[in-house]
Amino acid sequence: MPRRTTKRPGPTDEPLTSSWYLLRQSITLVRRHIDQVVILALLPSLVLELGGIVLVDHFIAGLAIYVVALLWLLLNIPAIYYFQVKLSQGETPSLGTIYSQGLPYLWRIIAFSIIYTAMVTIGVICFIVPGFILFRRYALAAYYIVDHNMGIGEAMERSAAVTKPVAGYVWGSIGVTLCVSIAAAVIGIAFYFIPGAGGVISSCLSLAALFVVSLRYVEVAQRTSD
């Protein structure tokens, strides 16, 4: 099937892939690598959900499950970024490779996430620089960290530079991801009368957009390296 593109004017007047088409590609990647997707992006959330349920009646056991899930989520942060980038580039690393290659970026990714969140929050509250501009500007920085072993400052500068000429496409990718997450949450709410079911359903459905932004990153990175 030929790749669908949407023509928009830009500095090089080169079209990029429609964000909705990236969603279709993301769903395909999720289906082909569902085992790794479940382990990396779903199971920790489900264990966290389980911990919250158990915590109500069995405090110690629930707390233990909760702590294990939080640690698992923490370790998975850089692994997921590495996983997203490599699959979006057409590679198929093993689960062991994903963890071993992603783990060295753990503290760098965490530090960047704290800085990124603080900047966007302050930007929104104080209107020093509108938070939504900062949100787009540094949206791809984490991928540059794990893909090119960049420092936080360098990755943020690179992300800001490459996303500015294609801001509409980047926003499109973010928007599609948010639409999927909101739709998944709304559907999950319908099942919240069943303990834990709403969170599980929302988490599963939101996986559809797991690779949308990383696919955009790969496309933009390849374009700017030409």
pLDDT in tens, 160-187: 999 999 999 999 999 999 999 999 989 9
What DSSP state is assigned to residue 140? Answer: T
Contact 6, 15 (CB under 8 A): yes
Contact 48, 66 (CB under 8 A): yes
Q: What is the pLDDT of residue 97?
A: 96
Task: Tell me the whole-structure pTM to 2 decimals.
Answer: 0.87
DSSP string, 16-48: EE-HHHHHHHHHHHHHHTHHHHIIIIIHHHHHH
Residue 90 CB: number of other CB atoms within 10 A?
A: 7
Mean pLDDT across 186-213: 84
**Best CA proximity match to 183, nearest among 207, 213, 212, 206:** 206
Where does the pLDDT of residue 93 fall: very low under 50, low under 70, confident under 90, or very high at 90 and above? very high
Where does the pLDDT of residue 129 fall: very low under 50, low under 70, confident under 90, or very high at 90 and above? low
Between 152-156, 171-175, 198-202, the lowest mean confidence (pLDDT) is in 198-202
Q: What is the pLDDT of residue 7?
A: 41
Tens of pLDDT along 96-110? 999 999 999 999 999
Residue 187 CB: number of other CB atoms within 10 A?
A: 15
Mean pLDDT across 37-48: 88
- More confidently predicted of 152 and 201: 152
Q: What is the pLDDT of residue 9?
A: 38
d(CA 31, CA 201): 16
Segments making up each domain of the chain, as ranges: 19-225
Between 1-15, 19-33, 168-182, the lowest mean confidence (pLDDT) is in 1-15
